[in-house]
Structure 1
């Protein structure tokens, strides 16, 4: 007879800490939030926090890593189901955002956390790893969609870097001026670019 698990697994604990940290960070600001406040918001003791993370900085980096991993998984899952670029963009546009991680649901907090980590030069390599992972993901999407449509790119990695910069730029513009930056601005731009440079896909 199997035993019923009564204690949370590390993944369960991390998920609750991520959600709690996101809530108190948004409410009080990242710099002013203590480890005790995060643990209490998650319903855990200080000891439970330290059994998973050595510091608040480590928790933040783990949250950023989890966000990137989930984003990559969602995008590649969609890509496996939608071979045509237009279908992929449409599916991405209609994706259920409520099921995303805390940083996926709060672009402003995501950006604040990136800046918080970037302020310390010694922590920037951690951000660089996530940036490279995102670039690689978009490069894979570019390569796969090109292959599925029988097209070619001179430099898929560069196209991926352009698209990622475009996405980050529109995210920032959306936070600053939502009235003139619709939520689907990046997807509209990507679709327009796909159509505008369609002839270039066939370049030798």
Structure 2
């Protein structure tokens, strides 16, 4: 007879800590949030936290890494089902954020966490790895949509990916500063405008 697992796996524990940390960060601020508060919000002891992460910074890096990994999986899945740029953008607009990781549901918290980690110079290489992964994803999407529209070679996918990612991060920062004049869909609207400006077909 197989044993019934009564203890949560490490993945289960990490997921609960990620969710709890996001709530505590939004309520108390990233700098002011304590490990004790995060552990308590997840229903764990301080010891349970330290059995998974050495510090709050390590937890944040893990959350950012998990977000990038999940974003890549979701985007590639959408791209496989929606080859045209317009269809892909529409799919992104209608994506159910409630099913995403905490940073997927809260782009502003994602940006705040990046800025928090970037203040520590020794942590910047960790951020750089995630940035490169995000750039590659966007470049792959650009290349796929260009090929499907017969415009391969018309644009440099890598450079265009870097521009689009900077544009996305810029809109996130602007929304953090002035949400009244920066709608949540600003980036996707900008992509649609660029698509039309480059003469890329929506079909």
Deviation larger for 59-68 or 111-120: 111-120
Q: What's the offset of the Cα at 1:85?
A: 1.1
Comparing both chains, which one has the higher relative contact order based on Cα–Cα distances under 8 Å and sequence gaps of 6 or more? 2
Q: Deviations over 1:157-183 (max 9, x none)?
A: 001011111111111222222222222
Cα distance in structure 1, aligned partners of 2:182 and 2:28: 27
1:1-204 matches, within 5 Å, as: 1-152=1-152, 153-198=154-199
Counting matched residue pairs gives 199
Measure, in 1, the Cα distance between the counterparts of 2:185 and 2:112.
Answer: 21
SS at match of 1:198: coil
Q: TM-score normalised to the size of structure 1?
A: 0.93
Q: Which runs of 5+ in 1 are unaligned?
A: 200-204
Q: What is the alpha-carbon distance in structure 2 between the residues aligned to residue 25 and residue 59 of structure 1?
A: 12
Structure 2 stretches of 5 or more lacking a match?
Answer: none
1:99-149 per-position Cα deviation (integer Å, ceiling 9, x unaligned): 111112222221221111111111111111111110000001011111222
Q: Could you state the TM-score of these two structures normalised by the residue count of structure 2?
A: 0.93
The worse-fitting range, judged by mean Cα deviation, of 130-139 and 99-108 is 99-108
Distance 2:93 2:33 in 1: 34
**8 Å Cα contact 2:111-2:172 kept in structure 1:** no
**Partners of 2:116 and 2:165 in 1: CA distance:** 21
Task: Please give the root-mean-square deviation of Cα atoms over the aligned residues, in Å.
Answer: 1.3
CA contact (8 A) 2:17 2:38 kept: yes
> Secondary structure of 2:115's match?
helix
